[in-house]
Structure 1
Amino acid sequence: MSKRQVRKMLREMASGEPVQLTVSAQSWKRLARLAFIAQQFGYEYADLQLGTNNNFVLFIVPDPSRQGQERAAQNRAQYPDADEGVALPPFVPDAIDLLKARMVVDSNSRPIDKLQMAIALFFFTVSAATICLTLRENTVAVVIVGIVWVAFLALMPVLRAYGRRYSAKYAARLQAAGFTPVTDRSGRQRYVPPGGQLPGHTHPLAGGA
């Protein structure tokens, strides 16, 4: 999380409309801190999805709750230059950890279907075959490409299983904190805060953006 990202986000939030941010790949904690800042100024975390080129797409929406509006008014008065990166509300570790858990689960809640796996396998196989044909006079290179191809096939199910276990760990963390599992409009399993519902549930960004 950089000051530039914070400034960009807060200035877009001034519109009062849902905000979609493309954020370069970085640590979960930094992404959670960015969403935490949004929550201090009248917005709430809605979703995090994997984008292209190793990017994430962060969705935040206006928080209509009385508590959220009161918190925003207090922080705007106390930190009037926040959108310039001058001073920001202090981070709350427990809140950051919960946001991180939600992001991990959300970003992994859209499973790779069989068609996507088949497409990835097809393109990787074609690439490997093309390299082998190009280097067919180099037996060592062809063998290496073959080994890489086999390793790719073996790793696909392993990576999927690891991703499921990783998400399950954070899903358990959310449930322990009182979050409730729900299914959104796109069929993804999400987690809602205690006594709440999916953030921004009345807006198209929620549950399927």
Structure 2
Amino acid sequence: MSLADRHITALMRQITTQDVIELVHPFAEWQTFGALAYIAECYGFRYADVRLVGKQKIAHIHLVRDTSPQAQQRAAANSAAFPDPGPGRPVPGMYLGSLTPVPEAQADVDLITTLIRYDAAGAAANRRQLLAMAWAGPALFLLLAVVTGKYAVLLPLAVLTPAFLLGALRINVTRRAKLGERLLAAGCTPVRDDAGRERFVRPVSYGV
């Protein structure tokens, strides 16, 4: 069984048994998450959010069952058109045995992927936390330098740490802004969620 088939099998198991789907594939590319989310949405789910978990910042993609009439109609139509999805059998929007979108699904997969990347960039760029680390880090290194006398090692770290963290924050902000421009161009609407985070809402979902 190919890696794509394993991903699809695990996804279909969640689709048939759960109302909340969690995609966790530590080494997967963003496009893989977008393709899997597309398939899930074809069966009556919708992308909800992404969390970065642990020191390695592993992405956890969440989808929830969509109870809207349009989503339920889409799920019924795809269940009829693809009654037995799985290894060696077709699934909506993908070439057989792969997570490569067919041309008709490519734009929708790209849009979901961009949404996931935008939310992930927001989760990674905790501005308050990074700024706190940028100032606390040098203070800690300076204190250690005074205590240990290892100025040659610790003073450069006191200078480089805030430069690295602030640089990483700036790069992340720039990258997220570019993703936001792509979402705006695709017709998405910027909103703030209940936690005050900047996010985007897609236009009316795609059809079958």
> TM-score scaled by structure 1?
0.74
Q: Displacement of 1:102 after TM fit?
A: 0.7
Q: Displacement of 1:98 after TM fit?
A: 0.7
2-structure distance, mates of 1:121, 1:128: 11
Q: 1:24-35 counterparts in 2 under 5 A?
A: 24-35=26-37
Q: 1:59-208 counterparts in 2 under 5 A?
A: 59-84=62-87, 86-89=89-92, 90=94, 91=101, 92-110=105-123, 111-115=125-129, 117-119=131-133, 122=136, 143=152, 147=156, 150-194=159-203
Is residue 7 of structure 2 the alignment partner of residue 21 of structure 1? Answer: no
1-structure distance, mates of 2:78, 2:114: 25
Q: Aligned pair count?
A: 191
**Worse-superposed segment, 88-97 or 115-124:** 115-124
Q: Displacement of 1:14 after TM fit?
A: 1.2
Conserved? CA contact 2:138–2:159, under 8 Å: no
CA 1:155–1:60 in 2, change beyond 3 Å: closer, same or farther?
same
Q: Displacement of 1:155 after TM fit?
A: 1.5
2-structure distance, mates of 1:108, 1:48: 10
User: Which sections of structure 1, spanning at least 5 residues, go unmatched?
Assistant: 137-141, 197-209
> TM-score scaled by structure 2?
0.75
Conserved? CA contact 2:141–2:155, under 8 Å: no
User: Which sections of structure 2, spanning at least 5 residues, go unmatched?
Assistant: 95-100
Q: What RMSD over aligned residues (CA atoms) do the two structures have, in Å?
A: 3.1
